[in-house]
Structure 1
């Protein structure tokens, strides 16, 4: 394909337009009388059609064109929105999405869209039949008027056109068609306007200037031009601009004076009183009708392959390790010039680090955006009423995590809708609202991001889970008697496990949950389940930010160094041994009026003890996970440092409370503590 160099841009922009179509259709469905979403839908469909035609994806262009016809009729209030139209347009958008995905996978984006095209055409033709009678009644009046699209001009424009005729100027309607392979339509339009304003004054354009600037038109547009040049001269000048297919220049008939209303006549008289007052207005009008060559509000962006960002991150990680080594050498030598240079390098590399990390961060909104549309369709398929609430869509995650987390969330949401939330009738019998509530929430906590999917449905039946687990030989009956509720709920993550009585086309709570668990764990995350039968369930996913470089507090236990992520630390403290209390066989302290459990890092990690000490004071790091806190006892605080997070690999990846390792400036290896695991 000749346009291979533009394929990535086409795919990115197509996905953005399809997302806009889905979002705005959902808005329109809720408020069918509000036509503002229709403008957004029409604009996205129109642009998508032009892009597809330019790239040679004809099936995609044909379907979008017919969809655009229906939307145009809705926009002009010729068709009233109803559920049939919404459903049909949604089906068309789904088909467009499949075709774009096919192109992304290397296909040609071809599909049999004839059925959908016919459905859309039938909607449009019904509207045409409804209007046929009124069109006939208006025929005589219409025939007496000019066929120009500029038949309706406002009082100011009438004034300018009328006075230009009286002054010996000609009024022309100029119709320009660009070549279909023109990729920079806005630039060509700007060049054509430059030519037109060299020979006269542009009074009006169709589409409006803003749409021309944003390329919200196909390949043709019209302008009203006042000039002393001949029609042929205007035509030849426009043809000097490249990628112009055709030009038509015809005299514009303003119509009979009788068509002017009394207010129009008054406007003409007012304008005629003082020509000097009219000139600035003409100038303003001219400026407003000329497309700008540069948009002041446009965002300057560049698309970068994620592999290049990965390479940049890997190089910077090595630089951070060397930076730590330099800082260590500088501290040992105490050379003032070396210390100044190292400090400056540290500041600059710190700024560079922030930029690199921010470049990789993407809001989870990119994933969450697909769910309102999905929930709507599943609700209709299942005959349920669902209210989807999304909180924290602006929460940011590393791009690599964003790319992988979508499918697990789809599994969890489908399960919640199918076997979590009851039907309206069952909910009513239970004294609940007929409309079920599904909450999708994302938030930061320490060095992790948590994504929660909760519903107010039936919850998980403990006995049913145990019965299925024993039947599937996942556990024995003896083991089942000693399991806590949380351990029972975790059983549904077992391979092939399902609590559904029958297989559903949508899902079964548990079907595919082993895939969900494996995917999340492969990202270094965990998933936990909480449920109360009859009240609902909560699935909580904990994910690392996957920031390779983190700020950490270095501590020492015996002769070994550990790094505790700074984002998980509330503060450090030194406490007396006498201040330590015991509650339920657990050491605790009173920290600012709260009872906080104490953990010895030495005991948790089974660090070899060289010599038993009876210490009077303990160094404690207060850490948190959400609302939960804990105090971690260490031997010594070393200080804060930027460290590079390195994976321990598959063999050591399952070590409790350790999320990775780092290389310090003196070459030693320090293990990075997983504070969330300690608190859990």
Structure 2
């Protein structure tokens, strides 16, 4: 079977399901009796198993199948979750992630998972003994009865499944028996069956199937299959939904009543029933059962499916190409606006104005296409923190805020590894062991905060712990011993400068080398990556109270709104997101404080900065001016007023980098090409305000 065309979709969806299962496992640890969480995990595992089998990745399908058996026993209350089961399922998820990663790298997705599979089978069979000395399975006989109840001539439902159907029918749902037939000339019949299952699950719940789901996913069926199904939809809607799947030849939908359910229950207990509707049906018992959620889930599922059908996956390279093309279009648009203002033809002006409005709407869409919530990076960390805290025998409360903050996709792809390193550093070096925390009067559980928020045209990410803080003396001694600084230099350094030594190459204060830290890599890799993204990292700490790493990242969008200003013959752009307002300042409004000009602004006094002196602009000076136009900028809670020669106006500009040779120009974040072909530098207000 040709599967290359589906590989990209398989990888993306596999990662989504694995992430969902990791998140649900962490939630389940806090609420092990919450069957709703188990149900969500079962669905993810079941879907991943089906996709893997269809794509031919048998090791993934096999491992996921055994996970599914454990989860099925838990959701049917035949098995109780305990620490051993949690650990085995987490190991299974790690193995699955490794196999999917191998596929991404062009591998076969194969791995030796025999030991994990054996552990999962022991849990289900009852050979594993729980901590209280009893078998993990609460009712092993019940599982045996369920598997033996399938008859050769009818779909058999156990008591649990019957109770689910009856409760659903009481709440307004209906039970149906479906027979679906796929065309004989269909090449990928397993894929078509998978599409039928997805379509049905968007408006209801599948209880059982024949042949078993694993046989269908492995392409081991003869172009037809049967289902027991519950939904609020009518027969016509079900028939239309299934018939809408390509290469489905026919679908028969029969309503189940109380009598039909009783016959299915009889076949579970006593074997085949001659008059049962689902004739010539064989069920492998362990199978493909899907316990429905609360009855309202069908409507929610329908809405979710409708939403999902309105989305598509787009390669990031295509978005890059779209952004570059629109950037060039924007330069031409600005040029046309300038020409229209010079020619002063009504028809031309009107057309250019309309094009500007359409261009602005298009620009917003293009920009939003590249923005991704940072949650896609943050959601991998709770599991990592949980495992790390367990390894170090520490108690850590991990708090995430601002996960909805959006960042350009190019930055999202690169920022994950630095954050992993900083989080590991905070948990290993920052948060103390339980005994040490209790001795110092702290709660036994340490807290690590991960925050993200916008400020101006930057995104800030903070990692803060309430641990032991950074000892200035230890860092200085280590730096002197390593030859990074001299003892005299160390005495003159401020605390912030000392903390920056943590990012020196090869610097580490770990006394014991471990898998977590102390390998001589230090935090230099973090800073080099962040600097390569155009950002920087700052450290603040208080001994005994904790440490905070603050990462500042640019919103590296190609197009930004900016205020164009003039200094003599030079033009500059100031990002609009950093501007509070503009004003006119006279000499009477200024005062001198410690030799620095200050300006009274809204009940506060802010510094008055001479841009011409700061940037060494020739041909212009603010000295002697009776009135000076200023642009008031903000960075966090700090503000400053920049003196300029002339305010040109607001424009949409295309951000161009200065290249690696001009990467460290003070207070300049890039350049742009104006409509008249001139180049204007883009100022960085965050560098001006310190």
600-609 or 652-661, larger mean C-alpha shift: 600-609
Q: Deviations over 1:535-570 (max 9, x none)?
A: 111111111111111110011112211100000001
Counterpart-to-counterpart distance in 2, 1:191 and 1:399: 31
Q: Determine whether 1:421 maps to 2:431.
A: yes
Give the TM-score normalised by the residue count of structure 2.
0.80
Q: Choose the corresponding residue for 1:149, options 149, 153, 156.
A: 156
Q: 1:168 maps to which residue?
A: none
652-661 or 604-613, larger mean C-alpha shift: 604-613
Q: 1:305 maps to which residue?
A: 315
Q: What is the CA-CA distance between 1:651 and the residue it aligns to? A: 1.1
Q: Determine whether 1:183 maps to 2:188.
A: no
Q: Residue 481 of structure 1: SS of its match in structure 2? A: helix
**RMSD between superposed Cα atoms in Å:** 3.9
Q: 1:34 maps to which residue?
A: 34
Inter-CA distance 180–243: structure 2 relative to 1 (3 Å threshold): farther
Counterpart-to-counterpart distance in 2, 1:14 and 1:31: 25
Q: 1:549 maps to which residue?
A: 559
1:196-595 equivalences in 2 (<5 Å)? 206-207=207-208, 221-223=226-228, 254=262, 296-508=306-518, 511-595=521-605
- Report the structure number with the largest CA radius of gyration: 1
Counterpart contact for 1:66–1:117, Cα < 8 Å: yes
Counterpart contact for 2:470–2:547, Cα < 8 Å: yes
600-609 or 129-138, larger mean C-alpha shift: 129-138
Q: Choose the corresponding residue for 1:135, options 141, 159, 177.
A: 141
Q: Residue 492 of structure 1: SS of its match in structure 2? A: helix
Q: Residue 349 of structure 2: SS of its match in structure 1? A: helix
Inter-CA distance 566–114: structure 2 relative to 1 (3 Å threshold): same
Counterpart-to-counterpart distance in 2, 1:386 and 1:191: 42
Q: Determine whether 1:121 maps to 2:126.
A: no
Q: Choose the corresponding residue for 1:667, options 674, 677, 681.
A: 677
Counterpart-to-counterpart distance in 2, 1:326 and 1:391: 44
Q: What is the CA-CA distance between 1:190 and the residue it aligns to? A: 10
Counterpart contact for 1:47–1:217, Cα < 8 Å: no
Inter-CA distance 589–110: structure 2 relative to 1 (3 Å threshold): same
Structure 2's unaligned 5+ residue stretches are 129-134, 170-174, 231-242, 251-258, 268-297
Inter-CA distance 577–52: structure 2 relative to 1 (3 Å threshold): same
Q: Deviations over 1:227-257 (max 9, x none)?
A: xxxxxxxxxx9xx97699xxxxxx9694699
Q: 1:233 maps to which residue?
A: none
Q: Choose the corresponding residue for 1:605, options 575, 593, 615.
A: 615
Q: What is the CA-CA distance between 1:184 and the residue it aligns to? A: 2.8
Counterpart contact for 1:553–1:566, Cα < 8 Å: yes
Q: Deviations over 1:238-286 (max 9, x none)?
A: xx97699xxxxxx969469999xxxxxxxxxxxxxxxxxxxxxxxxxxx
Q: 2:132 maps to which residue?
A: none
Structure 1's unaligned 5+ residue stretches are 161-170, 194-202, 226-236, 245-250, 260-287
Q: What is the CA-CA distance between 1:187 and the residue it aligns to? A: 4.9
Counterpart-to-counterpart distance in 2, 1:12 and 1:98: 14
Inter-CA distance 477–45: structure 2 relative to 1 (3 Å threshold): same
Q: What is the CA-CA distance between 1:459 and the residue it aligns to? A: 1.1
Counterpart-to-counterpart distance in 1, 2:327 and 2:140: 72
Q: Residue 512 of structure 1: SS of its match in structure 2? A: coil
Counterpart contact for 1:554–1:639, Cα < 8 Å: yes
636-645 or 576-585, larger mean C-alpha shift: 576-585
Inter-CA distance 613–74: structure 2 relative to 1 (3 Å threshold): same
Aligned length: 609
Q: Deviations over 1:590-643 (max 9, x none)?
A: 211122122111111121245674112221111111112111111111110111
Counterpart contact for 2:399–2:450, Cα < 8 Å: yes
Q: 1:59 maps to which residue?
A: 59
Counterpart-to-counterpart distance in 2, 1:675 and 1:293: 45
Counterpart-to-counterpart distance in 1, 2:323 and 2:71: 46
Counterpart-to-counterpart distance in 2, 1:511 and 1:137: 52
Q: Deviations over 1:78-127 (max 9, x none)?
A: 11111111111001001100000000000000000001001111111117
Q: What is the CA-CA distance between 1:207 and the residue it aligns to? A: 3.7
Q: 2:640 maps to which residue?
A: 630
Q: 2:624 maps to which residue?
A: 614
Q: What is the CA-CA distance between 1:478 and the residue it aligns to? A: 2.0
Inter-CA distance 556–110: structure 2 relative to 1 (3 Å threshold): same
Q: 1:98 maps to which residue?
A: 98
Q: What is the CA-CA distance between 1:172 and the residue it aligns to? A: 12
Q: What is the CA-CA distance between 1:150 and the residue it aligns to? A: 3.8
Counterpart-to-counterpart distance in 2, 1:257 and 1:149: 6
Counterpart contact for 1:499–1:509, Cα < 8 Å: no
Q: Residue 444 of structure 1: SS of its match in structure 2? A: strand
Q: What is the CA-CA distance between 1:337 and the residue it aligns to? A: 1.4
Inter-CA distance 658–98: structure 2 relative to 1 (3 Å threshold): same
Counterpart-to-counterpart distance in 1, 2:312 and 2:618: 53
Q: 2:72 maps to which residue?
A: 72
348-357 or 184-193, larger mean C-alpha shift: 184-193
Q: What is the CA-CA distance between 1:470 and the residue it aligns to? A: 1.4
Inter-CA distance 143–333: structure 2 relative to 1 (3 Å threshold): closer
Inter-CA distance 174–319: structure 2 relative to 1 (3 Å threshold): closer
Inter-CA distance 255–641: structure 2 relative to 1 (3 Å threshold): closer
Inter-CA distance 188–583: structure 2 relative to 1 (3 Å threshold): same
Q: What is the CA-CA distance between 1:461 and the residue it aligns to? A: 1.0
Counterpart-to-counterpart distance in 1, 2:649 and 2:38: 58
Counterpart contact for 1:419–1:508, Cα < 8 Å: no
Inter-CA distance 584–456: structure 2 relative to 1 (3 Å threshold): farther
Q: Deviations over 1:458-517 (max 9, x none)?
A: 111111111111111111222222211111111111111112222232124984311111
Q: 1:48 maps to which residue?
A: 48
Inter-CA distance 468–665: structure 2 relative to 1 (3 Å threshold): same
Q: Residue 183 of structure 1: SS of its match in structure 2? A: helix
